[in-house]
Amino acid sequence: MCDPITGMALASVASSVVSTAMTTVSAGQQAKAEFEAAEAQRKAEEAEALRGIAQEQQEGLEQQSDIMRSAQKELGAAQASENNLTQTSLGALLLAGEYKLQRGLSRIDEQTAIDVSFKESQQADAISRQGTRGVQASGRASQQISSAVGSTLKTAVSAGTSVYSAPKTPNRGASSYVT
């Protein structure tokens, strides 16, 4: 059995150690939860970016299809009126129609490429932000654990100082009555 001062010091150190262990577990769980939330958000943002890319590509195909239909309609009208046109004027009409067709398709391809590039950069940004959030969560957990360990060490040093500076009376805490 130990004297009351030593007992109180040991109890204080034990309480601090338990508190540090609980803080460590809590900080780890919090960091894990934050990382999982960041990963879920990244996946959602990435899925949205991919959906946007698919939508941009679909819209580009639809616009190209509209231009092709329009060009075919103009070609059909030109061929229908072929009897009234000379070979040179028919060739000029067909060349102008082909130029308009190719220029329209080229513009659609350019805009689709720009839109897809933008969506891909959003996707890369989501991945980068998720990594940053994971590092921040890990840093906060490390800070909490370091603080708890520091507090435990301070308590242990304080307890040791209390025990060391306690009066050195023989048989302290023992009964002074003799039976």
User: pLDDT by residue (tens digit) across 15-49?
Assistant: 877 888 888 888 778 878 888 888 888 888 888 87
Please answer whether residues 112 and 54 qualify as being in contact, where contact means their C-beta atoms are separated by less than 8 angstroms.
no
Task: Name the pTM for this structure.
Answer: 0.49
Please answer whether residues 5 and 166 qualify as being in contact, where contact means their C-beta atoms are separated by less than 8 angstroms.
yes
Greatest Cα pair distance in the chain: 141
Exposure string of 124-152, with b = 16+ CB inside 10 Å and e = fewer, is eebeeebeebbeebbeebeebbeebeeeb
Residues of the chain above pLDDT 90, percent: 0
What pLDDT is stored for residue 178 in this prediction? 47
Q: How far apart are CA 49 and CA 135, in angstroms?
A: 23
Highest mean pLDDT among 51-55, 67-71, 170-174: 51-55
- How does residue 168 score in pLDDT terms, banded at 50, 70 and 90? low
φ/ψ of residue 51, rounded to 5: -65, -40
Q: How far apart are CA 88 and CA 79, in angstroms?
A: 13
pLDDT higher at 92 or 139: 139
* CA nearest neighbour of 157 among 16, 2, 7: 16
